[in-house]
Amino acid sequence: MATEGEPTDLVKVLHLLVLSFSWGMQVWVSFIAGFALVRQVTRHTFGLVQSKLFPLYFYSLLGSHFVNLAVYAVYHPRELLDWHESVQMFLYFVALIMAGLNAQWFGPAATEVMFQMRGVEEEHGLGNQIGLGSQKEGYAKLREQDPKYKAYKSTFGRYHGLSSLCNLTGFICTTTNLVYTALNLSTI
C-alpha cells in the first residue's frame, strides 16, 4: 500500500463514514425512494418532489465524492500507487465527475424540460393521476397531436437517460470502492 504518512483514526473514520453515506444515499434515492413514491402520488407531485430533492442529492454526492477522493489522494501519492490503488483512485474520480455532470447539467436540464412537459399536460388535463402507468392512451394521444410535447418528451428522455447513466456509473464506482475499502480496513 502506498502511503504519505499513516492516516489518523479520525481520518479513517471520516473516510469510511463519507463513503458509506454516499453509497447509502445512492441506494435509497436510486432504488427505493423513487419506486415507492411513483406508486403513491400523482405524476406531477412526483416530478415536483424529484425537482426539489435531486439538486440536494447531486450536490451531496458531489461533496462526498470530493472528500473521498481528496482523503484517498492525500494518503496515496500518485508516484507510489500500485495497480489496484490506481483503479480505486480512478473510480473516486469518475464518481466525482458523474455527480458533477448531474449536478450542473443533466439534472437541471431534465427538470426544466419536465416542467415544460407538465405545463402542456396540465392544459390537457393530464398528470394528476397516481402512478406513471395511468392514462397511457391520453399521453400517447398528446404525443401524436402536439409536436411541441413530443419534442419535450424526447428531450426529457435524453436528459433523464444521461442522468440515470451517470447516477448508475457513480453508484458502481462507489460500490466498488466500498467493497475495496471493506477488504482493506486496516488501510484507507
Between CA 111 and CA 106 the distance in angstroms is 8
**Which H, E and C letters describe 40-106, residue by residue?**
CCEHHHHHHHHHHHHHHHHHHHHHHHHHHHHHHHHHCCHHHCCHHHHHHHHHHHHHHHHHHHHHHHH
Residue 7 has a pLDDT of: 83
Residue 136 maps to a domain: yes
Residue 159 has a pLDDT of: 98
- Count structural domains, the chain: 1
Which of 48, 85, 84 has its CA nearest to residue 69?
85
Per-residue pLDDT tens over the stretch 79-134: 878 898 899 999 999 999 999 999 999 999 999 999 999 999 999 999 888 876 77
Which of 124, 104, 108 has its CA nearest to residue 50?
108
Is the pTM higher than 0.75? The answer reads yes
User: Mean pLDDT, 10 residues at a time, over the chain (188 residues)?
Assistant: 69 94 97 91 93 97 97 86 91 98 98 96 90 80 94 97 98 96 78
Residue 150 maps to a domain: yes
Residue 4 maps to a domain: no
Residue 1 has a pLDDT of: 46
Please check whether residue 156 is in contact with residue 113, taking contact to mean a CB–CB distance below 8 angstroms. Answer: yes
Residue 188 has a pLDDT of: 62
Domain ranges, residue 126: 9-183
Residue 145 maps to a domain: yes
